[in-house]
Every structure is written in C-alpha cells, then in structure tokens.
Amino acid sequence: MTFHLVVLKPFDGHSRGELITDARAVEKILAGPQAGFVVRVSAATIAKGK
C-alpha cells in the first residue's frame, strides 16, 4: 500500500497540513527524526477524495 504524509508540525520548510507525496521524501522523513511531525495517510484514500 502506498502512503503519503500530512504535516502535523512544521519542519524543514513544510507547513502544517501540507501533503507530501514524493515517495523518496516520504521514506526519508519516516526514517528520520521528523517522523513524529507527520501522519501517514493512504494514497488510495486521498485519490478518492475522502
């Protein structure tokens, strides 16, 4: 399943509520100290508009 990220707390130029869809950026963020500043969301849910 593919995930995107939604920013909960601003970091590194990303704003609260921003959707991060780039797969490499998602992997890097989840592997780093900023992982606590985002929440994963299903890409399929976003595509359906829910």
What burial letters (b/e) apply to 21-46, b meaning 16+ CB within 10 Å?
Answer: eeeeebeebeeeebeebbeeeeeeee
Per-residue pLDDT for 47 more than 70?
Answer: no
Residues making up the chain, counted from first to last: 50
Which tokens in the block code for residue 2? Answer: 């593919």
| Per-residue pLDDT reduced to its tens digit, 6-25 | 999 999 999 999 999 999 99
Q: What is the rounded CA–CA span in Å between residue 50 and residue 35?
A: 23
Which tokens in the block code for residue 33? Answer: 């100290």
Which tokens in the block code for residue 27? Answer: 């992997």
Q: What is the pTM of this model?
A: 0.85
